[in-house]
Chains A and B, each alone.
Chain A
């Protein structure tokens, strides 16, 4: 993303006219999906959008700050837990519960951030993993509040969004807003500092940047977006259990991000779509669908380590040249 020295073309909300047009076409096409899909498939599409947001929030850190988190599933799940608890036991209206969930996730992310930002590489990976395991342990053992292994059920979804299509459109609208916000975030002056930290921490420090502070802010913002995904998931599922905050959830988010393309941001949706489609299609034919998923990953890593969107982008620019 280099900035030309020549005057920049006219822009809509920071996007070039062409990018804004492409984004609009994609959103409209996505909005038309429920007209063509079965009820079950609309549910899958909703799931793709929700997990796409989660994978995007991980990409903010992994692709732009060079820090891969294995704790985002836990942050996501905290939001889900809080939303379900607040509506069923607290009797709060859905909108307030939603806000409480996102806030809780942001606070948890801030705590994770405080502990993790001074590390990098494999240490960051392991520390976020361990923090996520603590959240999972709490959700599993604090039976009076979380329902333990049985989890919690509750009618979280607001009445107007009860049909699958209506809920899908609401999630699509949220995803569009959140994706736009994240895109602005990574391209902002602050986003540039994260990319600087990814490239050279020591140079950033000698230029006057408080590197841990920037990573802390980045982690917290990323956790906020993961919290939005978690709150939407609560309304999607009307149910939460420890598997929502488990390590497997974090890993799935990371895998979706990698499959789509690290640092591509919107690749997260492509990765989420690919994995959720594979899971559902393949599991209809064989019980060994996880093996198929594993092989697919190995193939992606060998032939397109830059991810699906990353590969497409590289191929396209090569052709243009």
Chain B
């Protein structure tokens, strides 16, 4: 699937377009002129972008480009100062994070954000019950029920840490904690997954494992990921948005983004003689 630079998505793959009909998926996420300002600093400065359902999108850009702030605006941690965010037909601009999660937005954190004193299993139970009424059971039994157990096992399997289920999180290695980050966001089978530098701080072999986990995700899940490592990001996604100083600089397919002069400039700096 490719999309044109102006944001109009056009599918060229035949696997989801039976009988050769060109299928244009409706956008699942649309930002219209989103601004996030911290006093005078406009960390996100008028971003409009649209992600088609089922797409895998990377948001790249140098440090301070506003990538994580944009994520926080989409997930609801930092509501936008102005502009509009639509998700799956809902205007989510002013919704708190837990309401957005209930609509199917799931995220991971750049800085590992788990429940360190609980077991991996209990972390997964909390992730799963966020969307179920069982979380309000005041005196009920704590154990997983027959519906929860296989879903937890599946998500732990997908993130490849199934054998560590009984370990307390603070005793996991850093790499395993990153895997659990992903497992937590997967267990609810979200509509859209926001991955904030999923491979941050990992060794090369751990990075390729994380890449493999992301690659093997269900194709129905729309994935938006922030990544510093261009090689990793470009190998995983259908389309790339490059941000610079709070604005969108370029939107292009991964093949074009490497050769893009503007992208090279913001990453490497302008040539001296220019």
Binding site for B on A (CB under 8 A): 2-5, 8, 14, 181, 184-185, 187-193, 195-196, 198-200, 202-211, 214, 217, 221
Contacts and interface: CB of A to CB of B under 8 A. Distances in A.
B181 to A, nearest CB: 9
A4 B77 contact: no
Contacts, number: 116
Contacts of A217: 136, 138
Contacts of A181: 139
B184 A207 contact: yes
A207 B187 CA distance: 10
Contacts of A4: 166
Interface stretch (B34-42, B93-101, B220-228): B93-101
A86 B126 CA distance: 43
A208 B131 contact: yes
Nearest to A210: B98
A188 B142 CA distance: 5
A200 to B, nearest CB: 5
- Main secondary structure, interface of A, reads helix
A2 B130 contact: no
Interface in B105-138: 106-107, 109, 113-119, 121-122, 125-127, 129-131, 134-138
Contacts of A196: 115, 118, 126
Given A2-B119, A3-B119, A196-B115, A207 B140 contact: no
A206 B97 CA distance: 5
For chain B, give the interface size range: 35 or more
A192 B126 contact: yes
Given A3-B143, A200-B115, A207-B101, A193 B135 contact: yes
A205 B97 CA distance: 6
Leading 10 A-B pairs by shortest Cβ distance: A208-B130, A208-B101, A207-B130, A199-B115, A2-B119, A205-B97, A189-B137, A196-B126, A184-B139, A203-B113
Given A206-B101, A208-B98, A192 B121 contact: no
Given A193-B135, A206-B75, A3 B115 contact: no
B144 interface: yes
Contacts of A206: 75-77, 97-98, 101, 106-107, 109
